[in-house]
Amino acid sequence: MASNLTPEFRAEAVRVALTSGLPRKQVAADFGVGFSTLSRWIQ
């Protein structure tokens, strides 16, 4: 599933994870992706 997401979607998820102050697990859940997927995008 994650491979079908647009680069813009990924960039927005990373932006929110880095700037919102929310736990990354919460951001991942809010965007409907796995925590490990979000962590990989941030790296």
What is the DSSP-derived secondary structure letter of residue 32? T
Give me the pLDDT at residue 5, please.
87
Give me the pLDDT at residue 25, please.
98
* HEC secondary structure over 1-43: CHHHCCHHHHHHHHHHHHHCCCCHHHHHHHHCCCHHHHHHHHC
The candidate with the shortest Cα–Cα distance to 27, out of 12, 16, 42, 11, is 16
**What tens-digit pLDDT sequence spans the chain (43 residues)?**
456 789 999 999 999 999 999 999 999 999 999 999 999 999 9
Cα distance between residue 1 and residue 22, in whole Å: 24
Question: Domain segments of the chain: what residues?
Answer: 2-42
Give me the pLDDT at residue 7, please.
94
